[in-house]
Amino acid sequence: MKELLLITPPFTQLNTPYPATAYLKGFLNTKEIASFQMDLGIEVILKVFSQHGLQNVFSKKLEVQKLSENARRILALKDEYIKTIEQVILFLQGHNPTLARQVCSMNFLPEASRFNTIDDLDFAFGNMGLQDKAKHLCTLYLEDIADFIVECIDENFGFSRYAERLGRSANSFDELYEKLSDSPTFIDEITLATLKEKMEYIQPKMVCFSVPFPGNLYSAFRCAKFIKQNYPETKVAMGGGFPNTELRELKDKRVFEFFDYITLDDGELPVELLYNSLSDEKEPAETKRTFLLADNEVVYKNNSARNDYRQHETGTPDYTDLLLDQYISVIEIANPMHSLWSDGRWNKLTMAHGCYWGKCTFCDISLDYIKIYEPISAKVLVDRMQNLIAATGETGFHFVDEAAPPALMREVALEILRRNLVVTWWTNIRFEKSFSRDLCFLLKISGCVAVSGGLEVASDRLLKLIDKGVSVEQVAKVTRNFTEAGIMVHSYLMYGFPTQTVQETVDSLEMVRQLFEMGVLQSGFWHQFSMTAHSPIGKNPEEFGVSPLKKEILFAHNDVDFVDKTGIDHSIFGYGLKKSLFNYMHGINFEMPLQEWFDFKIPPTTIHPDYIHDCLLDEDDFTFKGNSKIIFISHNPVAEDFIKTKKGNSRYITQLTFHLKTNIVRIELDQKKAYWLLKMMQENSIAKPQKITLQYLKNNFEENFEDFELFWFSKPLKQLKENGIILSL
C-alpha cells in the first residue's frame, strides 16, 4: 500500500515516460511520502499491441462491405499481424535486434497503405543503418494497425493522444461530459482494467493524474469516473500542463463529480498540502493554487503562506515503478534529428525553471511556468544525472527546458567533462549569438548531439513583432556553428502570425529552403499560429491586428479564436509548407520552384537566392575580447625540441603534437613560448573549476614576452583554436 498513486493517462509518448510523475515522485521522496507511479499509456499500448490484443481487435463484428479497401486488406492479413506483433514489439523495445534482418527483407511484415511511401524514402535508409530502417518499417506496420483501429474500433485512438479534439479549446464542458456518459470504448475497457489492477495492488489514499496535453484529458476523466464509482474513499486530483494553461478560469462544478482537486502550476507544494489533509474528513485547511468544490460552488483556494520549493530542493526525478525496459522506439520519418522525439529512452531533466528570455509575444509568458525563471546549479544538475544513470542504467538525457540558458549549458558541459562522464544529451534553445563556434564545440564534446529552437516566422519584420530577439542572419550563423560542431538542429516554424502577408509566408519558406540547402538545419516542423489567452497577443490583440471571438468560459480557456484583419486564410498554406519541408529534411528537391508545392497561385519570392549563403560568409575575427573565458582541452601534447637554421641564423623551436580522436595537429613555436603555453595548459586544465580570462593570459604572457595579440592571432594558435584544443568562451 502506498499513500499516493501518480498516473500519466493515455497517451503521450511510446519511447520514454513523460517526466511529470517522476519529478513529483522525486520530490515526495524528500518528504518521505510513499508513492507509486505508472504510465497508463504505455501499459495500454502493450496490451493492445499483443497477440491477445490483436485477436480482440480482429474479432469485433464488422460490416466488411462498409470498410475501406485498406481496412479490408488488413483484416485479410490478420493472421500475419497476430503472428508477428509480439516479435515486432520486442524488437522495438530493444530486446530482439536480430529481427532487423528479417524485417528489412521486405517479405516479413504484412504491408498496408502506410507502406505506399516506402520507395520515396528508400534513399534515406542507407544513411540511417539496418536497425533504423527496420524500426521505420515496424513503425509503418504499427501505424497500419492503428489506422484499422481508428476506422473500425475506436475513432479517437492515437499513439500520442486520445480523443484530443475533446480537450482542445473546450470552453464548455458539455461535449466531454456527454462523452463520459457513454459506455466505455474498446480502449477505455483496457485502460480501466489496467487501472483496476493497480488500484487493488496499491490501495492509494489519493490518485494524482498529471495531464500534460489535451490528448490526455478524456482518459483522465474516464479514469477518475471509474475511481469515484468503485473507490469512493479515494481522493482524486489533477495537475499538469493542461490545467496549468487551460483551466485557470474553471467554473463548471460538474468537473468535481470526477475530481476532488485541480491544482495549478508547480505541483510539489500543492500536492504536499493535499496529502497532509488526507486524514481529515473536512475540506483541506491549507491549500496552494487549488480548485475544489465548497458549498456546492467551485472555489479557488490559495490560502497557504508557504513559498514554493526552490529547484534545488525538489529532489532528483525518480523513475522507479515505470516499465523502463518496455518502452517502444519508433521512427516515423527517416530523419536522424526528427527521430529523437520517438526513438530511444531519455531521462528527462530541466536546467532552469521558466524562460530566461520571457518576451515572445505568442508565448504564455504571464504564467508561472514561463515567468518564474530559476536555474539550477551545474553541480546539482550533474549530480542528478549521475543519480539517474545509477538508478536507470540509461545515459541519455533530454533537458526539457523552455530555452536552456547558454551560460548554464556551458557550465554543465564543463562539469560533465570534469567528471569524465560519457553521456548523450539534447535540449531546446534560443538561437542567440552566445552560441559561438567554440561554445558549440564544447557542448559537443560533453555529449550534446542535438538542439531544437524556434525560428518561428523566418522574417526579420515579424521576428521583431514576436520580440524573438534574433534575426534570420543570426539564426543562420548559430545553426552553422552547431552543425559544424556535429550537433543536429531542429527548428520550430510558424505561419499565419498576425499581420503576416502572403509575400512574407513565401519569403519565409524560401529562407527555410536555403537553410536546409546550406546544410545548417537538419529538421523542422511548421505549425499555424494560434492565439493563447495568456500571451501578450491574447491580452492585447488589437495591438497585433487581430480581433478575438469571445466566448463564455466555464471549462477550458487557452486557444482563442480570432479574426485576422488582413483577411488572409493562412490555413491554405499548411499542406504545401509541410510537403516542401518533408522533402528538404530528406535533402531533395531544393531546385523545385516554390510554386510547385502549392495548388494555388503564390507570388515569386523576393529573397535573393544566395541570401543565407552570404550570411554565412565569415571574415577573420581579430577582435581581442579580454573577458573571454579560456578553456584548454587537454590532449597530452608531445613536445620535441630542435634547432631551425635559416640564412645562418639559428632558432630554438619546439614542435607540439596533439593527438585528437580523429586527427593529429602539429604546430611549431618558439621554444620558450611553446613551454609557456604548455605550462598554461597544465595549470589551467579543464579539471580546474576556475577559468582564466584572455586578459589574464595576455598579462601573464607579457611578463615574459612582447605582443600577445601577434602570438594569439598567429597561424599556429589559429590551428589550435580551429581544432578545439583552445576554446574562447
Q: Are residues 610 and 580 in the same domain?
A: yes
In a domain, 566, yes or no: yes
Cβ contact 568:480 at 8 Å:
no
In a domain, 54, yes or no: no
Question: Residue 374 pairs with which residues in a beta bridge?
Answer: 353
Residue among 470, 482, 544, 546 at smallest CA distance from 511: 470
- Report which residue type is found at 455: L
Q: What is the DSSP letter of 602?
A: -
CATH of the domain at 580: 3.20.20
The domain boundary residue, chosen from 152, 172, 188: 152
What integer pLDDT is reported at residue 375 of this predicted model?
A: 95
**Would you say residue 169 has pLDDT above 70?**
no
Sequence-ordered strand ranges (E) for 539-647 = 546-548, 559-560, 562-564, 629-632, 638-646
- Report which residue type is found at 85: I
In a domain, 460, yes or no: yes
Q: Are residues 421 and 303 in the same domain?
A: no
Quick check: helix, strand or coil at residue 116? helix
Which residues are within 8 A (CB) of 119 and not within 5 positions of it... i.e. 6 or more apart?
none
In a domain, 428, yes or no: yes
Q: Which stretch of DSSP H or E encloses residue 443?
A: helix 437-445
- The Cα 65–Cα 141 span in angstroms is 23
Sort 330 into a burial class: Cβ within 10 Å, 0-12 / 13-18 / 19+. buried
| Half-sphere exposure at residue 704, Cβ-oriented, CA atoms within 13 angstroms | 15
The domain boundary residue, chosen from 152, 169, 201: 152
Cβ contact 432:470 at 8 Å:
yes
Q: Are residues 261 and 352 in the same domain?
A: no
Cα distance between the two ends of the chain: 52
64 pLDDT band (50/70/90 cuts)?
confident
Predicted TM-score of the model (pTM): 0.91
Q: Which stretch of DSSP H or E encloses residue 488?
A: strand 488-495
In a domain, 55, yes or no: no
pLDDT digits (tens, 9 = 90+) for 422-438: 999 999 999 999 999 99
Q: Are residues 598 and 544 in the same domain?
A: yes
In terms of pLDDT, which residue wins out, 165 or 708? 708
Residue among 218, 281, 211, 276 at smallest CA distance from 246: 211
Residue among 193, 190, 238, 200 at smallest CA distance from 216: 238
Residue keyed to cell 510547385: 596
- The Cα 307–Cα 590 span in angstroms is 54
Domain that includes residue 668, residue range: 629-728
Q: What is the DSSP letter of 153?
A: T
The domain boundary residue, chosen from 615, 646, 673: 615
Q: Are residues 275 and 363 in the same domain?
A: no
pLDDT digits (tens, 9 = 90+) for 659-712: 998 899 999 999 999 999 999 999 998 888 888 999 999 999 999 999 999 999
In a domain, 361, yes or no: yes
In a domain, 543, yes or no: yes
Beta strand 638-646 with 649-659 is: antiparallel
- The Cα 75–Cα 69 span in angstroms is 10
CATH of the domain at 1: 3.40.50.280
Q: Are residues 111 and 135 in the same domain?
A: yes
The angle that helices 130-152 and 118-128 make with each other, rounded to 10 degrees, is 140
**Would you say residue 620 has pLDDT above 90?**
no
Q: Return mean pLDDT, the chain.
A: 92
- The dihedrals phi and psi of 722, each to the nearest 5 degrees, come to -65, -25
- The Cα 225–Cα 252 span in angstroms is 16
pLDDT digits (tens, 9 = 90+) for 493-521: 999 999 999 999 999 999 999 999 999 99
- The dihedrals phi and psi of 532, each to the nearest 5 degrees, come to -110, 150
- The Cα 156–Cα 160 span in angstroms is 11
Q: Extract the C-alpha cell encoding 537.
A: 497577443
| Half-sphere exposure at residue 80, Cβ-oriented, CA atoms within 13 angstroms | 15
Q: Which stretch of DSSP H or E encloses residue 580?
A: helix 574-585
Cβ contact 348:317 at 8 Å:
yes
Length of the chain: 729
Q: Are residues 602 and 634 in the same domain?
A: no
Q: Are residues 455 and 408 in the same domain?
A: yes
What integer pLDDT is reported at residue 208 of this predicted model?
A: 98
Question: Residue 692 pairs with which residues in a beta bridge?
Answer: 630
Quick check: helix, strand or coil at residue 300? strand
CA dihedral 408, 413, 416, 420 (to 10 degrees): -160
Q: Are residues 220 and 85 in the same domain?
A: no
Q: Are residues 569 and 604 in the same domain?
A: yes
Least confident range from 101-105, 618-622, 686-690, 714-718: namely: 618-622
Cβ contact 139:331 at 8 Å:
yes
In a domain, 506, yes or no: yes
Q: Are residues 140 and 246 in the same domain?
A: no
Q: Are residues 440 and 579 in the same domain?
A: yes
pLDDT digits (tens, 9 = 90+) for 641-665: 998 887 778 889 999 999 998 899 9
- Number of domains comprising the chain: 4
